[in-house]
Structure 1
Amino acid sequence: MAVAGDFPEDLTRDILLRIPVKSVSRFRCVHKTWDSLFNSSSFIITHFNNSNKKGHNFMMLMIPYDETVDKNWYLTQLRFRLFTRDKFNVYLNLEGEAPFRITSRNHVYSLFYPFVGFCNGLVCLHNYLQQPEQIVLYNPCLKQHKIIQPPIDFNVSEFRDRVLGFGYDSVNNDYKVVYWRKREGHGIRTQLAQVYTLGTNSWRDVDPPVNITFIKVPTNFQAFLNGSIHWWGKDVKNIGCQVIVSFKVCSEEFQVFHLPDYVPRPKRLANLNFDQIGIYVCRDLLCVSVATICDQYLNQSYDIWAMGRYGVQESWTRLFVVDNEQRPDPFSYFKGIEMNGELVWSRTSSTDRVWVTVNYADNEKFHDIKFGYDDRFPEFPVVTYTESLVSLK
């Protein structure tokens, strides 16, 4: 590295591994050896792991912004914002940088859920209002995206119920998208699953689990941990038995984790008609949240459970209870738990201005993240995001 002067090469590399992605991107033009270094798989992986261990991660919000096309049609754009985790200041504001826009009728898009998951600095989105559908991989920090066409042999009209997953194959240093559909009717259930591999840019069939299917949760998404994607599922032969469905990204195999019997079944809102359940990664543990109280009168209580030893059913432990005492005010809604244990709430003021409030279960201090008056509340997840140099070009 001639540009490094008298600095030893290993010391120069160690310094560069500590520099944020935005700075590394600017340094590509310093010398061709640096550009080559920043593109190497070993540097990208080490840089990400170093940033992750040092806590250089952010809170990501995806905020829908609508523009009126005519009387009944709207154009929805996703605005991505990264906030620092100490003072919750804006670190990166991507206005107009979302990889796609969606035209919908009567705000119908806000009722759907385009966010699939995130992994190693990449975000996976699913635009299924457009035909043909689009699956998008997006690196917000590098402002790069790749559009993936879904498998063409799925009959959209017959297999409308689906769940997607996104994860990293550490053995082959590759990224994969899982597309899992089901069709139910007249006592017959058919399931199809396929996996897309970024490196080969191709789909192939995989065997779905037997007698297990997914639960499509409109307000939550997957959890990626230990090389596996996790969703809420159910045992179709044991009515009411909910499970965690796991997909090992490397071996492309499904696995099932059972919940302990004393985890309560989620309560169903009579008027809103959705289950108050969630699945997360918190403190490097697989966690689930289940509503024990949730009604139209804003009485809320959630149990947060963690699997202390991954894959061991007996290790499920209740971390804490989220109830009305943790709420910032009577009109706030619990949205989920973040990687480091932060509780996330949505709030609406008397002027209809919306914001996110963050606190810890054992900390009464609240942090507010407010939005502009032209923004709607992010109906998509608030996630912990770690920037990375993973390129999609």
Structure 2
Amino acid sequence: MEMAKSLTIAKVSNHIPEDLAFSAVLYKLPLKSLKRFGCVSKTWSLLFQNPNFLSKFRNNLISIPHSYYNDTSLLLNQVMYHDHNNSQVYSSMHSLFGEKYENRLKLEFPNPFQEEDPFFNILCCGSITGILCLFQHHKVVLWNPTTDEFKVIPPSSAESIPPPWDPSPLLYGFGYDHVSDDYKIIRHVCYFLNTQGEDWDDLLSSSQTCYEHLWEIYSLRCNSWRKIDVDIPRDWEVSTENGLFMDGICHWYSSCTKNDDECEHILVSFDLTNEVSFATLIPLDIDANEKCNFVQRNLMMLNGSIASISWYIHTSTFHISVLAELGVKESWTKLFVVGPLPYIQYPVGAGKNGHIFFTKKDGGLVHFDLTTQMIEELGGVKGAHYYSEVIIYKENLLSIGGINH
């Protein structure tokens, strides 16, 4: 009797109606779980090839509010041209609000940039912490727009070297380490020989010291830089605004060229607590009709998930893949294809619930709703700009000076 009962239960469990599984259970699971469950059966391994399931999963992913966005707003940072000759640029930042982002409030920058029409870059990795990392050449400043408090970051000993060598620091990540209650910046410092018209070989032979490239990390609590021994994939053309910070980890893109001249794309992740890095290969998720090194990529947060948006140069169709598990290349899953959008140039950020912002070829801005597939312009945004970026920002009443002391 017991054996018959066990066989009946097993038989029923092996024949769960697919409609029930799709509608009631599976599409609501996290992507990481679904990828791991692919080994359960062939049907489950082919879930993302089922249009009905894919549609339900996508809608669920972008429609359910994620805690990542609690009490957040959007900031629009633009670098604008001064004149028609496009010879000089300046920065302009606004807070966006309203159902269609129709309202904006201009933000005034901190004192270190109180020059006439200042220009600076933002390291986007840590914007969700409530503190922005601004930099202008070698000057780095932490700024809390909520309290208008700022902190000028001191230089490190790695920058104090004699000629003919010139240090070139490049910022990669910024974020909050909740274990040590500290804000940290990670950067790479490389050294170049400044010839100033002299022969390169003569300078190199006469130089007493040859400086090796190094990685450094800054601690706000200690107010100092220190060298760290890490092996991190490095990209000389890293985009400072193309980074993310989530749950104590900074993420950014890197790329390298293989022996066959193909470009390999990598998601680099750096844990601010343990100060270790790891890499996740990114597959070519668009039609392989051109070489991989012609692929453009942006990193974004899609309703709490790490996403990669890719497109070929001079095209207007954008492919969006979501990462299920760090370090696992196979866990990338392509979920959306946006376009073609003929007058769109490139993505500049993402908001809540599947809103993606793009810059137009004439310099204006639009936001695209992945749920409705509708696109709308942001009225009042100037067109003549150098670049734009949309940043998720969370207000923070924390005193920067409090952590520093």
**TM-score under structure 2 length normalisation:** 0.65
Letter in 1 for 2:254: G
Corresponding residue number in structure 1 for 2:5: none
Per the TM alignment, residue 287 of structure 1 is displaced from its structure 2 partner at its CA by: 1.4
Per the TM alignment, residue 387 of structure 1 is displaced from its structure 2 partner at its CA by: 1.7
Once superposed, what is the RMSD of the aligned Cα atoms? 3.9
Of the two structures, which has the highest relative contact order with CA contacts closer than 8 Å and spacing of 6 or more? 2
Partner Cα distance (2:294, 2:136) in 1: 22
Instruction: Please point out which of 374, 377, 393 is paired with 1:365.
Output: 374
- Corresponding position: 1:134 with 2:158: no
Instruction: Please point out which of 172, 185, 197 is paired with 2:219.
Output: 197
Unmatched segments (≥5 aa) in structure 2: 1-65, 194-200, 202-209
Partner Cα distance (1:171, 1:266) in 2: 46
Partner Cα distance (2:122, 2:170) in 1: 13
Corresponding residue number in structure 2 for 1:116: 123
Aligned 8 A contact 2:131 2:143 in 1 = yes
Per the TM alignment, residue 168 of structure 1 is displaced from its structure 2 partner at its CA by: 0.9
Partner Cα distance (2:370, 2:79) in 1: 28
Partner Cα distance (1:103, 1:279) in 2: 32
Corresponding residue number in structure 2 for 1:208: 230
Per the TM alignment, residue 301 of structure 1 is displaced from its structure 2 partner at its CA by: 2.1
Aligned 8 A contact 1:166 1:229 in 2 = yes
Give CA deviations for 1:12-61 in whole Å, capped at 9, x if unaligned: xxxxxxxxxxxxxxxxxxxxxxxxxxxxxxxxxxxxxxx95674322211
- Corresponding position: 1:320 with 2:336: yes
Give CA deviations for 1:115-154 in whole Å, capped at 9, x if unaligned: 21223111111111xxxx2111111122221111332413
Instruction: Please point out which of 337, 358, 363 is paired with 1:345.
Output: 358
Instruction: Please point out which of 389, 393, 401 is paired with 1:381.
Output: 389
CA pair 189-319 structure 1, distance change in 2 beyond 3 A: farther
Per the TM alignment, residue 227 of structure 1 is displaced from its structure 2 partner at its CA by: 1.5
Partner Cα distance (1:294, 1:200) in 2: 44
Aligned 8 A contact 1:229 1:246 in 2 = yes
CA pair 301-160 structure 1, distance change in 2 beyond 3 A: farther
Corresponding residue number in structure 1 for 2:245: 224
Give CA deviations for 1:204-257 in whole Å, capped at 9, x if unaligned: 1012316x3225244842111232111112357766322111111111112111
Letter in 2 for 1:358: H
Instruction: Please point out which of 259, 273, 280 is paired with 2:300.
Output: 280
Corresponding residue number in structure 2 for 1:11: none
Aligned residues: 313
Partner Cα distance (1:246, 1:153) in 2: 24
Per the TM alignment, residue 286 of structure 1 is displaced from its structure 2 partner at its CA by: 1.5
Unmatched segments (≥5 aa) in structure 1: 1-50
Letter in 2 for 1:321: V
CA pair 241-249 structure 1, distance change in 2 beyond 3 A: same
Letter in 2 for 1:146: K
Corresponding residue number in structure 2 for 1:153: 158
Partner Cα distance (2:388, 2:211) in 1: 29
Aligned 8 A contact 2:217 2:225 in 1 = yes
Per the TM alignment, residue 94 of structure 1 is displaced from its structure 2 partner at its CA by: 1.4
Instruction: Please point out which of 317, 335, 344 is paired with 2:347.
Output: 335
Aligned 8 A contact 1:284 1:339 in 2 = no
Partner Cα distance (1:261, 1:386) in 2: 33
Per the TM alignment, residue 175 of structure 1 is displaced from its structure 2 partner at its CA by: 0.5
Letter in 1 for 2:215: A
CA pair 348-287 structure 1, distance change in 2 beyond 3 A: closer
Aligned 8 A contact 2:121 2:135 in 1 = yes
Partner Cα distance (2:313, 2:101) in 1: 29
Give CA deviations for 1:288-325 in whole Å, capped at 9, x if unaligned: 1222x332xxx32222111123443321101212221x
Instruction: Please point out which of 169, 174, 181 is paired with 2:177.
Output: 169
Instruction: Give the stretch that moved more between structures: 357-366 or 233-242.
Output: 233-242
Partner Cα distance (2:270, 2:68) in 1: 25
Partner Cα distance (1:72, 1:54) in 2: 36
Give CA deviations for 1:261-291 in whole Å, capped at 9, x if unaligned: 656789789xxx9862111222211111222
Partner Cα distance (1:91, 1:369) in 2: 10
Letter in 2 for 1:304: I
Corresponding residue number in structure 1 for 2:279: 256
Letter in 1 for 2:313: C
Taking only the aligned residue pairs, the percentage that are identical comes to: 22
Partner Cα distance (2:174, 2:240) in 1: 17
Instruction: Please point out which of 246, 251, 273 is paired with 2:269.
Output: 246
